[in-house]
Amino acid sequence: MKTKPQTTAKQSQKPAGYKQKNETISLYFSLAGIIALTFIVFSPALNNEFVSWDDYNYIRDNAVIRDLSLKNILHIFHYKTFIMGNYHPLTIISYAIEYKLFGIQPLYYHLNNILLHLANVWLVGYILWLLTRKQTIVIVGTLLFAIHPMRVESVVWAAERKDVLYTLFYLLALLQYIYYSSGEKEKAKHYGYSMFFFLLSILSKGQAVVLPLTFILIDYWRTGEFSIRRLTDKIPFFILSLIFGLLAVTAQSSSLTAQRLEHHTLFKRILYANYNIIAYFIKLIYPYKLACLYGYPPENKMWQVFVSPFIVLSATVYLILRHRNNKPVVFGVLFFLSTIFIVIQLLPIGNAIIADRYTYIPYIGLFFMIALLITGYIEKYPARRKTVNTIFYIQIGVFCIASFNQSQTWRNNETLWNQALKINPLEPIAHSSLGLYYIDLKQYQRGIDHIMKSIENSNAFSEVFKSYNNLGKAYSEMNEHRKALNAFNKALAVAPGFGDALFNRGLTYTDMRLYDSAIADFTYVLNTLQPGHPESYYSRGLAYRNSDRLDSAIADYTRAIKVRPTYSDALTNRGNIYFMRSQYDLAIQDYNLAIKYNPNDANAWLNRSKTYYVKREYTKAFSDAQKVREINPTIEPQYYQMLQQLLSGAPK
């Protein structure tokens, strides 16, 4: 009789253990399913190209990422190394690693962005589980974070690597803080890990400086109150935030774009901040008309800006009076506000009034709030569970389709900027960027038409100097050099330190055979604006070569090659000068390297062939000439025929 109670007690413990184990297994399967769905939703990005919206500056044309030496890594981490007006060395290092492994192939950069987002999805789900231990909350909150259309920009835009990377470390720091604050063993270890991941997050993107405020909200979630006594352990985090916050401000002020931004009055910035808050709440519920760029409201819609403070104030009063003790609402709203306040234009940070990417972390708080409210509603009204679930999953399906389609708008410059123009047909940055895209396709008149539209709206466009530069580029390629110079001069009149305009004006001077003027522009770029710029060394070398200053030309080609060892054009042109000087072995060495780095460089093959010919190595000369014929049969066919006839009777 005594054994029965023991057996019963033992058996009663098994279901609890099994239940906990089953919950964990079910949670992992749910998260795995969400991750698989998320990958499918964002898979169109794997076919996307790099776009002119910062991808070129961060990746395609960024010489900094082409060197993974210790010296360059230290340079990237130097506190004065700013890229595009930002200090985010870990993000740049991630690009450098990809370049080392894959070169400039968009697929891998987009794939890694998606993989980082998937890691963040898992972390969000796990953190929600630690905070609630309710699987329904985890599924709802994680699904919304994973596939909401406002995620698209952060995930599929290669240049926005900083978002998914800083969030990874942000969430890891938050996870360690949860362990630390929940009384886990080895509290000092978890605190140290949290500080370490916080540092990595800040080094990936400056927006991470708000993390200590999230810690305060975690304390509130656990205790139900805000306490000054619990601020002590946050002090080291706040100090780090202050240091990197000041560095971020310095980096922003160094940007030419930031210097050209319209500086609004404090009153107007407050108006825009309230307008932004409302816009982000609307896009949370109704993510419609998404684009990579949202300009400031035109004059006929400024009334929306002026009424926004009254709406925000009314909502605030309502929340305080009705929901100040509602923990999900307080936590969710304060999480959102505390993580987004630095990017709502209280400080000018760009040409866009709002941006989808700014919500990547802030929306987590609102998604958590929605998950809590939905779960609470179902628990209160269990008979309505099926209806609520149906509505929710229909909405998730709509979001999946919207995110899938929005991912495709980032396919290339044409799709990206046409989408922006659908939202705002007068958007000057979109017209300027689309114009440059058509210019690169040699559709000059089409490109010029778009650029002229961007210039027409220059009063609202702080980067009009870029439009003038693009216009000059079009005219230069059309051999209308005087018009090109006029456009470049207008760009420099607006922004005297704009290196691209100086560089392009130098190229135009070279085409006009005004070599001294070209050399002066390239020299100014190298000495003042972009030290070590390989294209400027190479272009100045061409100007020296065309003006018969061969020693100076060799010196500049060599400098360009030192900065970029794979610079095949510089190698070919230096080899040409060696050939002219009868230094045939040196010429062949350069041609060999040029061919190694660019096997389709017909000029390198042709010039090496001619070098072998001069050295009477006719078989090698003919072999190279055959390669030229394969690449482009129209290049010097008479030379090929001459070698063919000569070789038939020449000594081998």
Q: What's at 199, amino acid-wise?
A: L
Token pair for 600: 């389709």
Q: What's at 441, amino acid-wise?
A: L
Q: Exposure string (b/e) for 35-68, b if CB count within 10 Å is 16 or more?
A: bebbbebbebbeebbbbbbbbeebbbebebbbbe
Quickly tell me which residue has 């396919």 as its tokens. Answer: 411
Tally of CB atoms within 10 A around 22: 11
Residue 470 reports pLDDT greater than 90: yes
Residue 651 reports pLDDT greater than 70: no
- pLDDT for res 297: 83
| CA-angle at 596, arms to 590 and 602, nearest 5° | 80
- pLDDT for res 185: 77
Token pair for 244: 């990197």
Q: What's at 221, amino acid-wise?
A: W
Distance between CA atoms of residues 287 and 152, nearest Å = 11
Write out pLDDT tens, residues 599-636: 999 999 999 999 999 999 999 999 999 999 999 989 99
Q: What's at 161, amino acid-wise?
A: R
Quickly tell me which residue has 């500049």 as its tokens. Answer: 556
Distance between CA atoms of residues 123 and 146, nearest Å = 11
Residue 461 reports pLDDT greater than 80: no
User: How many residues are recorded in the chain?
Assistant: 652
Residue 457 reports pLDDT greater than 60: yes
Residue 83 reports pLDDT greater than 90: no
Write out pLDDT tens, residues 90-103: 999 999 999 999 99
Distance between CA atoms of residues 148 and 402, nearest Å = 8
Both ends of the chain: CA-CA distance in Å? 107
Tally of CB atoms within 10 A around 170: 28
Write out pLDDT tens, residues 146-186: 999 999 999 999 999 999 999 999 999 999 999 999 876 78
Residue 551 reports pLDDT greater than 50: yes
Tell me what the mean pLDDT of segment 369-376 comes to.
Answer: 95
Distance between CA atoms of residues 320 and 334, nearest Å = 12
Helix, strand or coil, per DSSP, at residue 294: strand
Task: Say if CB 161 and CB 374 are below 8 A apart.
Answer: no
Helix, strand or coil, per DSSP, at residue 444: helix
User: Which residues make Cβ contacts (< 8 Å) with residue 126, sequence separation at least 6?
Assistant: 31, 175
**What count of Cα atoms within 13 Å lies in the side-chain half-sphere of residue 177?**
25
Helix, strand or coil, per DSSP, at residue 86: strand
Residue 210: which pLDDT band, with cuts at 50, 70 and 90?
very high
- pLDDT for res 226: 85
Helix, strand or coil, per DSSP, at residue 157: coil
Tally of CB atoms within 10 A around 404: 17
Tell me what the mean pLDDT of segment 126-135 comes to.
Answer: 94
- Give me the chain's average pLDDT, please: 90
Q: How far is CA 503 from CA 146, 515, 518, 539, 573, in A?
A: 43, 13, 8, 9, 19
- pLDDT for res 12: 46
- pLDDT for res 257: 53
Tell me what the mean pLDDT of segment 58-67 comes to.
Answer: 87
Q: What's at 482, amino acid-wise?
A: R
Distance between CA atoms of residues 495 and 2, nearest Å = 92
Distance between CA atoms of residues 152 and 109, nearest Å = 15
CA Rg value for the chain: 30
Residue-range domain boundaries for the chain = 23-408, 426-496
Distance between CA atoms of residues 591 and 576, nearest Å = 9
Q: What percent of the chain has pLDDT over 90?
A: 72
- pLDDT for res 19: 61
Q: Return the CATH number of the domain spanning residue range 426-496.
A: 1.25.40.10
Residue 85 reports pLDDT greater than 70: yes
**Dihedral angle sign, alpha carbons of residues 61, 63, 65, 68:** positive
- pLDDT for res 2: 44
